[in-house]
Amino acid sequence: MNNQNNNKNNNKTFLGIVAGIIIVVAVVLSFKASGFLEERKIEKRIQENNMAIYNEDVNNNQNSGEPTDIPPVDSNATSANTWNGNTLISLEEAKEIAIDIVGGGDIISQEEDIYDLEDTPTYNFQIKKGAKVYEIEVNALDGTVSEFDMD
């Protein structure tokens, strides 16, 4: 009789452990599916590269993120772009920063928002890596990542 009770207790313990493992796996998979883990990897990469993430521009104004209607500057121009007397990083440098933060991928759209003298100038990219699309905003003054989002 004692042997049967021990077997029942062992079976219950085993089933409890299996149920716990299934719950942990389900939580991990849901985090992965929601992009939580991928966003944490990007945040870590930004921190490792000593890059700041800003949600507001340097004047503490909320930036709408909408591009201006002025046509983009020719990226092949030989003179440096400037904004309020400050030299901007090039579009190519901003592309490298954005792709490096995501860890690779292909740029599927890009916008230069560098013409409005009241908002901090930025370069905006959509980068496709695998099944995910990342939206990265790079500050054109100093190359910091202003915003990132994953769809």
Q: How far apart are CA 52 and CA 63, in angstroms?
A: 17
Tokens of 144: 């910091």
Per-residue confidence (pLDDT) for residue 109, from 0 to 100: 94
Q: Compute CA 38 distance to the chain's CA centroid, rounded to the nearest angstrom.
A: 8
Q: Say if CB 137 and CB 89 are below 8 A apart.
A: no
Mean pLDDT (whole number) for 123-129: 95
Q: How far apart are CA 145 and CA 20, in angstroms?
A: 39
CB atoms within 10 A of CB 97: 22
User: Averaging pLDDT over each range in 46-60, 64-78, 133-147, which range is the top one?
Assistant: 133-147
Q: How far apart are CA 144 and CA 151, in angstroms?
A: 21
Mean pLDDT (whole number) for 123-132: 94
What is the chain's percent helix, strand, coil content, to nearest 5?
Answer: 40, 25, 40
Q: pTM higher than 0.95 for the full model?
A: no
CB atoms within 10 A of CB 137: 25
Mean pLDDT (the chain) is 74
Q: Say if CB 81 and CB 93 are below 8 A apart.
A: no
Fold adopted by 52-150: Nuclear Transport Factor 2; Chain: A, (3.10.450)
pLDDT band at 116 (very low <50, low <70, confident <90, very high): confident
Q: Is 114 exposed, middle or buried (0-12, 13-18, 19+ CB in 10 A)?
A: buried
Q: Say if CB 9 and CB 17 are below 8 A apart.
A: no
